[in-house]
């Protein structure tokens, strides 16, 4: 869930947003020299973090908008369960394109 601030300038709508994230791991695989290892049992299933980002929407009509945004996520909880490997965090960078339309 993001807290978003959006402005309107002619047909452009820039925005800034930030918010928390919660993730659940379905499975984890590590590949070393072409050999796959299942890491699901040694990886934390739940992770929490924080996202920040910015976007720009182009308002084409009252019912249609095209947009793009970038966001960066910081994992705040370690994804490794093993205490000797603690401190492994997710870092995520997203480019997102969107089309908004109203019925």
What size, in residues, is the chain? 103
What lies within 8 Å, CB to CB, of 52 at 6+ separation is 17, 18, 71, 72
> pTM for this structure?
0.73
Backbone angles phi, psi at 97, to 5 degrees: -110, 145
Give residue 40's pLDDT: 82
Q: Give residue-wise pLDDT tens across range 18-66.
A: 999 998 988 888 898 889 888 888 888 888 999 999 999 999 998 999 9
């Amino acid at each position: 869930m993001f807290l978003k601030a959006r402005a309107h300038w002619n047909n452009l709508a820039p925005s800034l947003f930030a918010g928390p994230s919660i993730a659940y791991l379905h499975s984890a695989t590590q590949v070393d020299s072409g050999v796959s290892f299942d890491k699901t049992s040694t990886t934390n299933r739940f992770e929490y973090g924080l996202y920040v980002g910015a976007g720009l929407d182009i308002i084409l009509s009252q019912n249609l908008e095209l947009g793009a945004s970038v966001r960066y996520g910081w994992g705040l909880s370690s994804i490794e369960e093993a205490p000797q490997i603690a401190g492994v965090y997710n870092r995520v960078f997203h480019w997102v394109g969107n089309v908004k339309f109203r019925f």
